[in-house]
Structure formats: structure tokens, C-alpha cells
Structure 1
Amino acid sequence: MADHQLSKTFPVKPKLKPKPRTQKQTPESKYWSSFKTQQIPNVISSITSLAFSPNPPFPFAAAHSASLTLFSSQTFSPTATISSFSDVVSSASFRCDGLLLAAADLSGLVQVFDVKTRTPLRKLRSHTRPARFVKYPIADKLHLISGGDDALVKYWDVAGETVISEMPGHKDYVRCGDCSPVSSEMFATGSYDHTVKLWDVRVTDLRRLAIEVNHGSPVEDVIFLPSGGLIATAGGNSVKIWDLIGGGKMMCSMESHNKTVTSLCVGMMAKDTGEASRQYRILSAGLDGYMKVFDYSKMKVTHSMRFPAPLMSVAFSPDCATRVIGTSNGIIYAGRRKSKESKEEERRELGGFSSLGATEDEPRRRALKPSYFRYFQRGQGEKPSERDYLVTRTKGVKLAEHDKLLKKFRHKQALVSVLRCKNPANVVAVMEELVSRKKLLKCVENLDLEELGALLAFLHKYSTVPAYSALLIGLTKKVVEMRAEDIGASDELKSHVRNLKRSVEEEIRIQQSLQEIQGIISPLLRLAGRR
């Protein structure tokens, strides 16, 4: 019975060989990888700003040089270009109804355009230095927020082209801002003075801020998260999340970028992913060429993509179907994700070759019958869906020569065979198997002089290797004791033993040197720990 059980333990596998780690792709990575990226060329200069229209079919505007180009989110082809700027366009923002588009440029001018006719309806002049950002408040068609290098934040009456309120709280360039998703009167601005300030235009004394937080480095972008109680700030190589309801307490800091983070936006997982509730993510773009997806509910980065140029801006469409990224070399990387509904519509538009989906102009495929050979081949080209359970065929086990010999209980031949293969992991695995069978010393006793020389050569080479020394050092001692007479009668075997002795002595010297070094370092480490 014992021999029968032993015969089922093959093939012999090395225990000391580490298993390679296989990185499985998570559902989150699959979702963000499903956006098939394509390049939008012919945009010469850096893409400083990207903004989506809030209304279908969700076109987006790209600011580059002294122009503002509108693109279709379905075909990614340019639909219109606005060139009535005297300097580089720094920011763009759609109104809540998608009919008007505001843009700021480095001359300090803020303009409002009709999206359909592309004519400038208002020109807002008040900034004395370059204007860096402009935003329409949520559900507000009459006002604008802007900020610039004059360290001022302005609240505009668009119809009257006048400044209603001017907020002078920052001490350096105001480079970014965002409006609250729950209130049209509240907004946040970020500056190169390292601070982010929360403003409320209903407060009469605007010098008294609602909340101020210090990011710790020049702030490049700030966004409100969908709840309205959290904001995310980007500056240096970090993205930080702050709790406004808790008085501006920092909740977490993400420092996965290697260079400056230039832009942030909020993305939402599509409904067809099977999630029970809305899953919001923060998308960050940096000068290191990486776009990161940050799950702020779990405080971890869930996906990362590398692009061949520094990234300047990122935006995500309201329908969760389009993601665009602007680079410093004038290329827009646009990606669109096909939903299950759009794939089904596309399949219906293309038509099928089955008898049920064929049209009058398409040839009908003959119905499958058991008399057709194709009947028995049906379904073999189909790919499994996510919920399918795959029944895989068991692969036949290929046994090596030493495994076959072990299976036949020819222990000595198995040891000699594996020694010829010169694979130390397999040799040690066979030796461990022979130890478990209590046959290793019996095999050593029955080796002839040539086979004994091969064993001594192996022990000389690998007995001092840390991975194998636990077994081989003890075996070496037993081999020398058991075969002392044979070793003394053969010059070749004596040579193997002398080489083995030198290796062991050298290993002992190395261990003694390491112990001396440890004795010197240990008191220093203890002193350092006390300080």
C-alpha cells in the first residue's frame, strides 16, 4: 500500500524554486482599457484646456495657441474653430445649456461665444495680467468666475459686462478654479501661493473666506467632487483630497506621479459595468506622461496609462463614453468606449448572415441540419462570455527520465540520471524524495566510482549555495564517512574531496567576516535607535 501511494507523487518538483507572480487584470483595469485611444493630430501647440459640453451629443472644446477648436465626441473630427483671440487661449467652459462657450486668454480678456455661430457675444475686460481660468457656475446662465496672474478672482455679470465682486485674497498667480456642483454661489480657486480658497459670493466681506487650505506646493488644478463636500487639488507630484464639511481637513494624499500634476477631472463608471451604485473616479494627468485613475473611496490608484509626451489637460464626457487627453506637443489622445447598446445597434446595422437577421438583399444561410458536417462544428469559434464556466481538458503530464525511474522504484538509476542533467533544483528535489523514501543513503552506498565522482563534483559545486546547503552539507558528511575507503583508493575522488574542503573553508571564512562586520555595526545601530 505504501509503494502504491508513493507511485502517485510524480513528477518530482523543486521546492526551492519560487513561483512566478501573475498579475490578473481587474474589472477596473478592463473598463478603463476599453477606451480605444486614437490620436487627433494637426493641432500645432500645447493643449492647455479641454472642456465637454453638458448636453448631447457632448462635443468638446480644445484650447491651443490663439485658437479654440470644437470636436465631435463620436467621430473626433473638428467641427468648428474660433480664432478671434489676440493671445494664447488658457481656459474654456461651456454654459449649463451648452449654447454658450466662455474662453480666457493670456491678454487678460474673457470672451463669451455663441457655439452655433461662433460669434463673440461679450468681451469682459478687467484683468490687468493674463487670465488663467474661466468657469460657468452650475445652473447659472448669467455669471462667470475668472482668475489670473494679477492674483485676483472676479465674479462677472455677463450681460452687463461688469465685475460684480473682486476677491483679492491670493498673494500669487491664480491658476485654476472650479464651481460647486451643489451651489451656484460657491467656488474654489487655486494659486501659486500654495493655497486653495473657498469663496461664497453671498458674503458681503469677501476678505473673510469660508475655508482656506494649504496644498504645500503651487496649485495647478482644483476640482469639486460630485458630493460638493470634497475638493481635489493638484500641485507638485501629488493629488490631495480635502473635506470641506470637516473644515478643510486633508483626507488623503496621492503621490504616484513622478513630475508635476497638471490637470484633474472627475470620471464616472458607466452603468453597463454592473455596478449597483455610481462609481466616481479622479483622473489626473502629469508631465511624466501618465494618466492615473484614483478611487478616492478606497484611497488607491486603480489604473495607470503611459503616453509618449507630457500631459497638459484631461477631460471626461458626461455620458461616460469619451475620454480626451491633451499633450504639450499638440496631440490629443481621444478614447471612446462602446456600450453594450451601441454594440448591439452596430450589429443590427451591419446585419447578420443568419436566417433570422438576414435582409432581402443578403443571402440566407441554410438552416443547420444533422445531415450537414457544419452541424457538428457549430459553436467552436465562439468565445466564452464573462459568466461562462470553462471546462478545460486535463493536460497529460510529461515525465522526465528520473521521474520515470522513480515511478518504477529504481532509486539509484534515478539519482544517477538526474545528476547527468546538471539541474541543481531537480537534483535536490530527487534527493528530498529519496530521503522521504529512506533510500538516499542506500543509493550512495551502491554507487560505483564514476557515479560517486559525479556526486562529489555536484556536492563541491552546490553544497555551499544557501538555497541547497541545508540538505547538501549533511549529505556531504555522510558520503565521505560511508565511502572513505573508495575515496582513499582513487586519486580522482581525492581531488574532488580536496576541492570540496577548500570550498567549505572559504565559506567559513566568509561567514566569520560577516559576523565581525555585524559585531561592528550592531552597537552603532543601537546608539542610533536611542537617539
Structure 2
Amino acid sequence: MAEFKKTNTKVYSRTAINYSSDTVYWKKLGVPTLVKEFGAIDYIDFSPVEPYLFAVTASVRVQIYNPVTKLVVKNITKFQEGAHGGSFRNDGKLLVAGDDLGKVRLFDVSTKSILRFFDGHRAPVHRTFFNSDGHHISSFSDDKTVRFWDIATEKHLNTFSDHSDYIRAGCTSPVSPDIVISGGYDRKINMYDIRTGERVLSLDNGNPVESLIFLPSGGIFISAGGTSVNVYDALAGGRKIAQLSQHHKTVTCLQLASDGKRLLSASLDRHVKIYDIATYQVVHTIDNTNAVLSLGVSKNDDTLVTGMVDGLIAIHRREQDNRDKEDSHVNKSRRLKSRLRYENIFKSVDVEIADFRHEKIEQFDRMLRMYEYSKALDSVMIPSVMGKTPEKTVAILKELIRRKGLHRALTDRTHLFLVRFIAFITRYIGDFRFTPALVDAANILLDVYEIEIDKFAGTDVGKMFASLSRRLKKEEQINNDFLEIQGLLEMISAAADESLHSINDTNMENVLMKEIEASSNAQKQTVINVD
């Protein structure tokens, strides 16, 4: 007896994903650990020295976390009102932060005690940074001023008031202790020289400035405003080098990674984009559970932390280097090969007969083998098959249509089955892989219930038939739209070809005219010489 031929359930291949070296590198950060803070995360900053602790500013406190244990190791609660912009000095020993009362406080990280108290702003101070020499502090406030403070004397040395709206962004030059830039909600970016006490550069960013950052060279700075990230050359008078528009909501913060070779931007659209500084192209994207307000990354790229509007911080920690795992795998392979080699030496000459195993046959194939078409269709019309592997359901429909058994399988069905069957067709009839088979199945269904179609009016089955009708009309409209686009493209292509031929003909005529003219001139010259 001939062997039963199983149903061919074609598995459609998915689009291949090309993983770049950057994708592999950043995917190793793994699944984040979520920690709940006491309010929206205002700012995140990493200590530049090991063990790369990071400070999270939220509500009325600054909490310092250990990136390995992901636990709080220091808790600074010396604020009467909301704290803002806690950032480390380049040696990791001091931390400065502003608050809603306009005060700027300097803390010793190890003891959590206040070392300096700078009073002078008349509105909340949202950003505070150490200058590159580590002896001065720049603060940026909602009172539209930028102040420059001396840590030793606890006095402010300069005040700049060129903005006309809140200043929510700023940074200090990594190479010069005298250069500061600020960004305000008046869409202006101003650069100041502390030595002269004057503004040396001013430009319009086009949108309120949310974040500013210098590249390590100090000659280029980057701003975040609106949905775009702008790159400016400070040495060329603020000329815009590039504009990156990869987000669809406001970009809230910027950070550098990989020793300044990668730029990270976070947005209210829940995405963190990673760019290659050399090409300004996106090399990887990290998704978050909510709108991102702040972002921090450690110096060695082992830890990335995002702070969200709902008070959650997501701590991404790089997984253990796979080299140890690879070495272990190599050793296991070597041991296995050695064992097999010795086993082959002492292997018996006896012939081993493998155990006979029956080949597994799917339930729908067993039903088809017994010509029970209704039960075969029932076996693939369950949610676990229709939802996860719709190709199996479509394969059975194709086989039943080939056997001319779908009419019999659909006859005398319950309303519940008909609702499920029509819902499956409605869902997948627009999928190009299944469209031909499902169109045939829909036609057979209408043939079977053509006489009883009026009885379904007002029932769930009638509603599903109406839904299928609307879906077919929509697909028809989409096809018509594509045909119109195809016609337009063909017209444009034909016009372009005609124009190209016209240009070629004109060029050919010009060449011939020049050759005739040259030949005529040569003949005239010959006549003159003869005379």
C-alpha cells in the first residue's frame, strides 16, 4: 500500500536581520532592571572614576547607586524643595546640585555633608556643572541667568543674563575652564567666555533647548530641541554641521559614549537612539516602557541608565563577556572529541539496529487520511493554531479545495464556527501569502450558504459577513490606489525615456552639423590654397 503523503504546510521565511557590530555590542546590555524612584527622574550622571557610581536626581533627593548591585549606596536629602541636575566632579569626590529655591549646593560624596552653599539665583536652578579645572561651578536657572561660582571663596564671579526665557540646558567645555554654553526656552544658544565676561557666540536653535553637550575636542557642541538634534561647529562661528531627526517627539537629553565616538539621544517617544559620531547615522535603538526624561552611561559603556516620567529608572548592565563561555565550550568540545576517539578504538564489531519509531503525524493529517474533512478543518480552527501558525490552517484549506471537500466540511456548521471561520478569512485575506487560497475559501463559503444568507441578518454571522465585505472593499481600494501609482510611475518613466532620447537626438544633430561645417571649411581652405 502506498505511503500516506502528509500535508505540505509551507513555512514562510522571515526577512533576514543584519546585525552590525554596534547592534551586537549594545544588545549585550541585556534586559534592564527597573527601580522605582520618588518622582519623575530629573537628571542622571555617572561618576567618571571606578566603580562608576551614578547619581539619580528625583523629587527632593539625590540617590547614588552602585551599578553592579543596583542598590542605593548614598542618599543625599539636604533639599527643602525639588532637587535638580546632580552631577559629579571629574574626580568623583564632589557632587553639585540645584533646587527649586534657587540654591546651589556642593556635597562630599563619601560623607554626604554640604561643603558649600551658593545663594544668588531668584528662581529654580535646573542644571549645575563643574568646569574642567574642578575649582569652579556653572549654574543655569529659570531666572534667565547663568552664574559662575568659585568653590574656594563661595562667591559668584560672573553673571550672564542674555536669555529672555527659562534656561534649562547648559554645559561646560571639556578643554577650557573659561568656556560655558547655555540653552534656553527662547530658542537661543549662547556661548560665554569667563575671562572677558562677555558673550562670544549666539545662535538660534529653532526650538526650545532641552540639552547641550560638548564633544571631547571642545570645538563642536550638540543641542537637543524639539524632535531634532543639531550639531554645531563652535570654531566656525556656530555653523550647523548636521541635523539628526530620528525622533517623533521632543528630545529630552543627550550623552556621549565609547570615548566620544557614539552619541545617545533620549526622547518622549520612549526611544534611545545611538549614533555614530563619524557619520551621524543611527547604529542602534533601545526601547523603554515610558517617556524618557534623562539618560546616563558609564565611561566603559558597561552600564546605561534611563530615567522616565513615571519615576522608574531602567538599569541596563552589560552581560558577562562571552569569551569565558566560548572558552568553556571549546574545552567541552575537546573533551567530547577525546572521549569519542577512545570509544571508537574499543568499539565492538557488533551491528547495532536502531529502534523503530513511528513518524509523528499531525491530527489534521490523520483526519484527512480517514476522509473526515470536517474534523480535519476543526483541528486547525482552534485559536492556538490560527493565531500562532496560520499557515497550517491555510494549508488544510488548500488541501480540502484540491480534494473538492471544503463544501462538505463547511456544510451544517454552527454559528460559532462560522464566526470563527469568517474572522480568520477577514484577518488574513490581505496577507499576500494567503490571499489566493482564502479568496477561494470565501467563494466556497458563499456558495454553501447562499440560500441561507438572509437568515443570518442581525446575527453575529451576519455581522461577520458584513465585516468581510468591508475588508474586501478596502483591499480593492488599496489595489486601485497601487494601480494608479503604478500608472503614474510608468508615465514618469516613459517621459524620462522620451526626454533622454530627445537629448541624445539633439546631441547627435549637433555633432553632425559640426562635422558638416568642419568639412565645408576644409573644402574652402583647399580651394583657397589651389587659387
TM bin (shorter chain): 0.5 to 0.7
1:199 has 2:192 as partner: yes
Structure 1 residues 234-273: aligned runs within 5 Å: 234-268=224-258
2:345 and 2:195 map into 1 onto residues whose CA distance is 75
SS of the residue corresponding to residue 134 of structure 2 reads coil
2:304 paired residue number:
323
Asked if 1 retains the 8 angstrom alpha-carbon contact of 2:23 and 2:283, the reply is yes
SS of the residue corresponding to residue 138 of structure 2 reads strand
1:238 and 1:127 map into 2 onto residues whose CA distance is 30
* Counterpart residue type for residue 104 of structure 2: V
Task: Classify 1:74/1:347 alpha carbon distance in 2 versus 1 (closer, same or farther; 3 Å).
Answer: farther
* Counterpart residue type for residue 299 of structure 1: Y
SS of the residue corresponding to residue 110 of structure 1 reads strand
Cα displacement (A) at 1:67: 0.7
2:106 and 2:164 map into 1 onto residues whose CA distance is 28
2:208 and 2:147 map into 1 onto residues whose CA distance is 20
1:358 paired residue number:
none
* Counterpart residue type for residue 277 of structure 2: Y
1:31 paired residue number:
25
Which of 179, 195, 202 matches 1:186? 179
* Counterpart residue type for residue 265 of structure 2: S
2:185 and 2:341 map into 1 onto residues whose CA distance is 76
Per the normalisation by structure 1, the TM-score is 0.60
1:155 paired residue number:
148
Cα displacement (A) at 1:101: 0.6
Task: Classify 1:83/1:297 alpha carbon distance in 2 versus 1 (closer, same or farther; 3 Å).
Answer: same
1:88 has 2:82 as partner: yes
2:509 paired residue number:
none
1:296 has 2:286 as partner: no
Cα displacement (A) at 1:329: 0.9
Q: Which runs of 5+ in 1 are unaligned?
A: 1-17, 269-277, 356-363, 377-418, 424-509, 523-531
Which of 214, 219, 233 matches 2:209? 219
1:312 has 2:293 as partner: yes
1:486 paired residue number:
none
Task: Classify 1:19/1:157 alpha carbon distance in 2 versus 1 (closer, same or farther; 3 Å).
Answer: same
* Counterpart residue type for residue 168 of structure 1: S
2:52 and 2:250 map into 1 onto residues whose CA distance is 29
1:142 paired residue number:
135
Asked if 2 retains the 8 angstrom alpha-carbon contact of 1:40 and 1:76, the reply is no
1:174 paired residue number:
167
Number of equivalences = 350
1:97 paired residue number:
91
Asked if 2 retains the 8 angstrom alpha-carbon contact of 1:368 and 1:375, the reply is no
Cα displacement string for residues 477-518 of structure 1 (whole angstroms, at most 9, x for unaligned residues):
xxxxxxxxxxxxxxxxxxxxxxxxxxxxxxxxx9xx989x99
2:529 paired residue number:
none
Per the normalisation by structure 2, the TM-score is 0.60
Cα displacement (A) at 1:123: 1.0
User: What is the root-mean-square deviation in Å for CA atoms of aligned residues?
Assistant: 3.7
Structure having the larger proportion of residues in helix: 2
Q: Which runs of 5+ in 2 are unaligned?
A: 1-11, 348-397, 403-479, 493-531
Task: Classify 1:373/1:153 alpha carbon distance in 2 versus 1 (closer, same or farther; 3 Å).
Answer: farther
Task: Classify 1:172/1:353 alpha carbon distance in 2 versus 1 (closer, same or farther; 3 Å).
Answer: closer
1:127 paired residue number:
121
Asked if 2 retains the 8 angstrom alpha-carbon contact of 1:368 and 1:374, the reply is no
Asked if 2 retains the 8 angstrom alpha-carbon contact of 1:239 and 1:261, the reply is yes
2:38 and 2:346 map into 1 onto residues whose CA distance is 57
Asked if 1 retains the 8 angstrom alpha-carbon contact of 2:98 and 2:127, the reply is yes
2:246 and 2:330 map into 1 onto residues whose CA distance is 50
Q: Equivalent pairs: percent with the same residue?
A: 29
2:62 paired residue number:
68
Cα displacement string for residues 286-306 of structure 1 (whole angstroms, at most 9, x for unaligned residues):
111111112232122121122
1:168 and 1:514 map into 2 onto residues whose CA distance is 59
2:423 paired residue number:
none
